[in-house]
Structure 1
């Protein structure tokens, strides 16, 4: 294998050539290398080059945190994978609202975590504005609990729950809302209790304030124009977390630890997230939160478990191979995709 640090730096430099700034991590052989390039576009007193402790909006990578919290609550006996969403939210639904069902099958928490609920991608009323103005600033800020639950009365399922894969920000957001409601906590407090505290993550948060504000990167368009931050209100479980490469590297190390006795407190829950599998096609599937696929034998036949994310001014990619014990993280503070560079680095590490 080429020097891990060199491979990671090359990837960061490549991304910085097309983004305002980027931070990349590579994990292999028990080692972790983190490199940054470009600019934060923020007010970080440690310098303008993003680094291990620069905060980014991680977008839909949030979903793997939400699903790990679900697995933790399931193992604690506080929730069940086959529990209907309507039961969890029964005392929260406003008058006239109901969780949709189809074919006599209710939406369960597992359906939400695996994108098999049949729910549309976006909450009721958001699709047309999103199509007409894809660059609308902070488009989810009005997705409060009351608005989301009231919108369920106007929502029709595309398929019966459990029948097919249809990626849904609405479903993931409702999962986060339901888990927070069941726990009696806010979403940020739930993730702190179930994921961050057990793993020692110190910078994975919804609200960035205090000392962290100085370490927050500024988001940009593909052309490098600064854009406002996104606030997902009560849809936060779908994509509202901020994090750092340093925190995400610890999170990936826990994912790479094998089996339910992998050493970290959430190890049994991590194992549960990957035991659940909904087949999407012959080569791809959905776990709880994560997406997975196996490359064709002509491409090496390697396993890749991954999730990406995007907000108005940020892109993220997190992926790993538990068989080869390698992983990658790529965060950038502009809207251009980082997936190709992240996949290329992962495949280099898999080849060893």
Structure 2
């Protein structure tokens, strides 16, 4: 029985069991094939840190604001930061919002001064306040001319979230709630968990099975500070198919239409990476983002034209990418 003909529930169960067999922390797997959906593993409402999938929410928030004309993709970041904030340039080129969203800003991966001390901490980003970030930004040298080269940057994505929140007069959490979560009905996707939600958070573990505390990303929340559930992320996946409120599906379309080539087969979009699959030459592209924090790993992968999607969440720091991508391949099959 091939992946395309096997029952969806069976395929998802197998993937959840494969992941659970190798780790101590909870796992939750969900998938969509056509009009069907299935989840296995932990309760679909169990919460996990989703790490860099937060960047997808940050970029979609940018796209929503741009769609209303409140900001522009090509707007300099400096215009949304406090007056007097020093923003590095190179060859006279300013960092634009689109550059932050596509990782072409030229900014380094991490904030100035975080290494080496910060990443050896159990909660490495907790001290990244707005003041510290902007002071560090003033002393940062760009690695490439803005807009010219893909260089993955947590700093850039975090600054995008910070800049958009300042522009809106809200904190990052509330801005994402307003622009993405409430329109899509994502009840549990947020930075700060209240008492009831905190009780549903799956405890994180290192890749060796040791308990790990949660991460607080402070002013860098736009890079990786959100928590979510399989249920919520499947709703976001459906929105990439065009199923959802027009304001969100239009924002998704804008992120897909905007991009910077990385290689012959891959492109960086605001909040996503897309790839041409070997079995789909010239056909539908895989759209995805993954994430990782001290005690969690996550994957959101979709092929919208096939109405195929996979969400894999783990409260353990070992990657979920390979099993998740195999499941998506089983669901989507080949072109023709």
- Looking at structure 2, the residues matched to 117 and 233 of structure 1 have their Cα atoms a distance apart, in angstroms, of 21
Determine the structure 1 residue equivalent to 2:43: 51
CA RMSD of aligned residues (A): 1.6
Question: Out of 94, 99, 104, which is 2:87 matched to?
Answer: 99
Q: C-alpha separation between the residues in 1 aligned to 2:284 and 2:138?
A: 43
CA distance in 1: counterparts of 2:320 and 2:207, whole angstroms: 12
Q: Which of residues 261, 277, 282 in structure 1 aligns to 2:259?
A: 277
Deviates most, 19-28 or 137-146:
19-28
1:144–1:233 contact (8 Å) kept in structure 2: yes
Question: Cα deviation per residue 1:45-65 (whole Å; 9 max; x = unaligned)?
Answer: xxxxx2100000000000000
Q: In structure 2, what is the equivalent of residue 249 of structure 1?
A: 234
Structure 2 residue 326 is the aligned partner of structure 1 residue 344: yes
Question: Quick check: 1:188 aligned with 2:194?
Answer: no
- What is residue 97 of structure 2 aligned with on the other side? 109
Distance 1:106 1:297, change over 3 A: same
Please give the per-residue CA displacement for 1:36-85, whole angstroms capped at 9, x wherever unaligned.
1xxxxxxxxxxxxx210000000000000000000000111111101001
Write out aligned runs for 1:211-250 (5 A).
211-250=196-235
What is residue 89 of structure 1 aligned with on the other side?
A: 81
Question: What's the TM-score once normalised by structure 2's chain length?
Answer: 0.95
| Equivalent position of 1:71 in the other structure | 63
Deviation of 1:127 after TM superposition, in Å, equals: 2.9
What pairs up with 1:137-176 in 2 under 5 angstroms? 137-176=122-161
1:37-48 equivalent positions in 2, closer than 5 A: none
Cα separation, 2, equivalents of 1:216 and 1:198: 23
Residue 129 (structure 1) aligned with residue 117 (structure 2): yes
TM-superposed CA distance for 1:128, in Å, is: 2.7
What do the CA deviations read for 1:166-208 (whole angstroms, capped 9, x no partner)?
0000000000000000000000010000001111110001011
Q: Is the 8 A contact 2:276 2:282 kept in 1?
A: no
Q: SS state of the match for residue 25, structure 1? A: strand
Distance 1:298 1:177 in 2: 38
TM-score (norm 1): 0.90
Determine helix, strand or coil for the equivalent of 2:174: helix
* SS of corresponding position for 2:233: helix
Question: C-alpha separation between the residues in 2 aligned to 1:113 and 1:178?
Answer: 12
Structure 1 stretch 297-306 or stretch 149-158: which is displaced more? 297-306
Alpha-carbon deviation of 1:342? Answer: 0.6
Please state if 1:2 is matched with 2:6: yes
Tell whether 2:53 aligns with 1:61. yes
State the distance in 1 between where 2:10 and 2:162 align.
42
Superposition deviation, residue 28 in structure 1: 0.7
Decide whether aligned partners of structure 1 residues 124 and 335 sit closer, same or farther in structure 2, where only a CA change above 3 A counts: same
Alpha-carbon separation, structure 2, partners of 1:51 and 1:8 = 14
Q: What is the rounded CA distance, in whole Å, between the counterparts of 1:75 and 1:81 in structure 2?
A: 10
Aligned to 1:265: 247
Deviation per residue, 1:294-334 (Å, 9 max, x gap): 02248896521100000000000000001211000000000
Residue 136 (structure 1) shift: 2.4
Output the CA distance in 2 between the equivalents of 1:296 and 1:26: 22
| Aligned mates of 2:302, 2:156 — CA distance in 1 | 24
How far apart, CA to CA, are the structure 1 residues paired with 2:166 and 2:68? 16
Q: Give the equivalent residue in structure 2 for 1:43.
A: none
